[in-house]
């Protein structure tokens, strides 16, 4: 990510209309996915990804990985995703700020 990195609390939030469109477009993808890899693949086809910034899960635009909004803003809290999909595999990013990118392969869902 180029330029100054804002903490998650200072990241811009989409306006109401954009938020409604994002939720309508992306929530079915979240709801139908049963693995992190499947979720990441489906989001990528729509031009989005997931990453951690400051320890928080956020939706990012591809390919630039600019933050769009948080998981909670979409109505998809991380805790709920972990309960349903299992723990995600995360590749740490340099800087020591709890930043990382989700990768498609990794831990399996608990049996």
Which string of DSSP letters, residue by residue, matches 45-59?
A: HTTEEEEEETTEEEE
Q: Considering the domain boundaries, does residue 1 fall inside one? A: no
Q: Considering the domain boundaries, does residue 8 fall inside one? A: no
The pLDDT confidence band at residue 4, using thresholds 50, 70 and 90, is: very low
The pLDDT confidence band at residue 88, using thresholds 50, 70 and 90, is: very high
pTM metric for this prediction: 0.79
Domain count for the chain:
1
pLDDT of residue 11 exceeding 60, the answer is no
> Domain limits at 60?
13-103
């Amino acid at each position: 990510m180029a330029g100054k990195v804002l903490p998650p609390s200072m990241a811009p939030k989409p306006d109401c209309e954009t938020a409604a469109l994002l939720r309508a477009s992306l929530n079915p993808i979240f709801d139908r996915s049963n693995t992190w890899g499947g979720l990441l693949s489906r989001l990528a086809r729509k031009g989005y990804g997931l990453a951690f910034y400051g320890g928080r899960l956020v939706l990012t635009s591809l390919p630039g990985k600019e933050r769009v909004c948080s998981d909670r803003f979409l109505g998809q809290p991380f805790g709920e995703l972990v309960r349903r999909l299992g723990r995600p595999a995360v590749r740490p990013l340099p800087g020591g700020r709890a930043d990382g990118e989700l990768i498609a392969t990794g831990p399996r869902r608990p049996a």
